[in-house]
């Protein structure tokens, strides 16, 4: 009589798959990266717009009616641009590796060609 795997065993198998663990790590890193970008954007926006904000008697962008939305949009655009840049650089690296792999001769093909040439030469010599 075979025993069916239980819910816990199925869950353990699901969690141990590489994709799930990789995704979890990516989510944690993205959360931390988002906080860093948010802080940098808030700092830069506050310092860059400080003269205009003082002239308008406003303490920060967040005090505007849609200020937090504006900051969130800027954060999104910065994070999206950084992700885009990373993906583009990874793709460029992969393309360079593919070009190098294509230009390298295949050792098996070289060996087969050498054996064929050797066999032909031996047959011409009558061996």
SS3 assignment, position 64: coil
Residues 6+ apart with CB under 8 A from 74: 41, 45
Vertex 66 angle, CA 62 and 67, to 5°:
25
How would residue 3 be classed by pLDDT, with cut points 50, 70 and 90?
low
Nearest Cα to Cα of residue 33 among 102, 99, 79, 94: 79
- Cβ(75)–Cβ(41) under 8 Å? yes
pTM score, whole prediction: 0.49
pLDDT in tens, 28-83: 988 888 888 878 877 777 677 777 777 777 676 667 788 778 878 887 888 888 88
Reference 46, options 59, 33, 35; nearest CA is 59
- What pLDDT, on the 0 to 100 scale, is given for residue 88? 93
């Amino acid at each position: 009589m075979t025993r069916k795997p239980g819910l816990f065993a199925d869950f353990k198998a699901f969690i141990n798959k590489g994709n799930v663990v990789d995704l979890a790590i990516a989510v944690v890193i993205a959360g931390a990266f988002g906080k860093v970008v948010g802080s940098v954007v808030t700092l830069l926006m506050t310092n860059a717009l400080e003269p205009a904000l003082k002239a308008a008697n406003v303490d920060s962008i967040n005090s505007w009616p849609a200020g937090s939305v504006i900051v969130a949009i800027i954060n999104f655009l910065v994070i999206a641009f950084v992700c885009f840049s990373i993906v583009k650089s990874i793709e460029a690296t992969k393309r360079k590796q593919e070009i190098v792999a294509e230009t390298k001769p295949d050792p098996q093909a070289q060996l087969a060609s050498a054996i064929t040439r050797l066999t032909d030469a031996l047959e011409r010599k009558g061996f």
